[in-house]
Amino acid sequence: MTGLKLDVSNVYSFVSEKNILGFRDGAGASLRKLYDKTGAGSDFLGWLDLPSRISDAEIRDIEETAALLRSHAEVIVVVGIGGSYLGARAIISALGSNFEAFDEKLPRLIFAGQNIGEDYLHELLGILDRKSYAIIVISKSGTTTEPAIAFRLLKNHLEAKIGPEEAGRLIVAITDRQKGALRKLADQSGYKTFVIPDDTGGRYSVLTPVGLLPIACAGCDIRRFISGAKSLQEATGAGIRFEDNPSALYAATRNALYQKGKTTEILANYDSRLNYFSEWWKQLYGESEGKENRGIFPASVNFTADLHSMGQYIQEGERRLFETILSVENPHSTLKIPEDAGNLDGLNFLAGKRISEVNKMAELGTLLAHVDGGVPNIRVGIPEISEYHLGELVYFFEKACGISGYLLGVNPFDQPGVEAYKKNMFALLEKPGYEEETKAIRKYLKK
């Protein structure tokens, strides 16, 4: 049974319930396109039944590999970018400590290949000089610039530190089943490998080894994570009534708002551990829907901190936005506000209340203020931050994204615009095969 709850009632003063229900047929048709594989991008629907399809043998292989790496390394470096990194980081950050630098639990997971920062990589190598470490490198091709640069540096460093043979036992490659530079290197070097499924795009891959191995390495229960995703797979299936299908209803509501001119969606949370979950969500929706000069722009804020900055714009800026609130019912800890004899801060009226009660009232007060200020609000609630409920959230948003993309009339499973910057970068770096592009761009820059 799912613990995820969707509440769209705070959009009814902007788009009526009848208007949203008018998307019933369109959402149903979009859902059938997913299951019948008749829509655009149907070659990339492997994620759709993944929670119920992953085998116990696959899970056990991931768990055993994670245990091996954990036993041999103080640090595990996960090399990847985009969907090859954000999903894992989102779940690990959500389940980890707010004060990771002071967490004594080892091994610590560090991420690389998500940028081309020279100082970042230099500082990372400096840390790894003093630590035993393993590498998980994630790339379908092995030639994506950012992770390829990072892996080349890290591979050379690890081999120089402990020797090529021992390094080969501490490098795991998650890559294509048969082809690509990383697959070739892994086969030549004898790396342990896992497969990125051909039918699952990067931003939908958190429930494949791409996400599951790093999550398991962080000590999280991937079986519970998969179980939560499976509960939402069942709760959002093709046979579920539109009004009872949270993914279909969310997709319909955001599209109804988009048609009313609400072109920006802000994902807000009231727990800092969900910050990277917002980053994963932004990639999922930005890369899936931002095409053909259409799509809802995904942004995020972290409350209550951002109420003292972005809160002003949300309250009184242009009325082209709506909010989706990630709401967590129960914290893991109990902490009450103490009584103070002097009461100089005037907070004795809160004495004896839990911090979470104050946070909840801030959440409710903000919702009311924003709705009154012209900002529709959607609420996505989970009982607590746990592997199970994060699995629910991941699948809920993935399914809704597929439905929403089809309602928008775009292919939610490709990303043609991502290649534009790469073409220019390769031309500027004079990559072989880009000679004509190099000439053209240098001529353009001289203007």
pLDDT in tens, 254-285: 999 999 999 999 999 999 999 999 999 999 99
Q: What is the pLDDT of residue 26?
A: 97
Query: Residue 208 in 3-state DSSP?
Result: coil
Domain annotation covers residue 422: no
Question: Which residues span the domain enclosing 66?
Answer: 50-225
Catalytic-labelled residue, pool 146, 265, 279, 287: 287
Which of 179, 196, 225 is a domain's end point? 225
97 and 145 in a common domain: yes
- Residues in CB range of 439: below 8 A, 6 or more apart: none
Catalytic-labelled residue, pool 18, 104, 308, 318: 308
Give the DSSP H/E element, type plus range, for residue 433.
none
d(CA 16, CA 28): 19
Structural domain count, the chain: 2
Give the DSSP H/E element, type plus range, for residue 79.
strand 75-79
Domain annotation covers residue 237: yes
Domain annotation covers residue 207: yes
Determine whether 422 is an active site residue.
Answer: yes
321 and 199 in a common domain: no
Measure the CA dihedral 76/77/78/80, to 10°.
Answer: -170
d(CA 125, CA 414): 35
296 and 238 in a common domain: yes
Domain annotation covers residue 439: no
Task: Write down the pTM of the prediction.
Answer: 0.94
Give the DSSP H/E element, type plus range, for residue 378.
strand 377-382
Of residues 104 and 305, more confidence is placed in 305
377 and 319 in a common domain: yes
The model's confidence at residue 347, banded by pLDDT at 50, 70 and 90, is very high
Catalytic-labelled residue, pool 422, 423, 430, 435: 422
Domain annotation covers residue 186: yes
Which of 185, 208, 225 is a domain's end point? 225
pLDDT in tens, 28-48: 999 999 999 999 999 999 999
pLDDT in tens, 184-234: 999 999 999 999 999 999 999 999 999 999 999 999 999 999 999 999 999
57 and 29 in a common domain: no
- Residues in CB range of 354: below 8 A, 6 or more apart: 334, 335, 336, 337
d(CA 290, CA 299): 13
262 and 134 in a common domain: no
Domain annotation covers residue 424: no
Choice among 140-144, 310-314, 377-381 with the minimum mean pLDDT:
140-144
Which of 225, 246, 263 is a domain's end point? 225
Domain annotation covers residue 322: yes
Q: What is the pLDDT of residue 439?
A: 84
pLDDT in tens, 73-109: 999 999 999 988 999 999 999 999 888 777 776 679 9
Q: What is the pLDDT of residue 106?
A: 63
313 and 395 in a common domain: yes
Determine whether 287 is an active site residue.
Answer: yes
70 pLDDT more than 70: yes
220 and 234 in a common domain: no
d(CA 211, CA 205): 7
212 and 141 in a common domain: yes
d(CA 73, CA 131): 8
244 and 220 in a common domain: no
Domain annotation covers residue 176: yes
- For the chain, give the percent of residues with pLDDT over 70: 100
Task: Give me the CATH number covering residue 373.
Answer: 3.40.50.10490
233 and 181 in a common domain: no
279 and 131 in a common domain: no
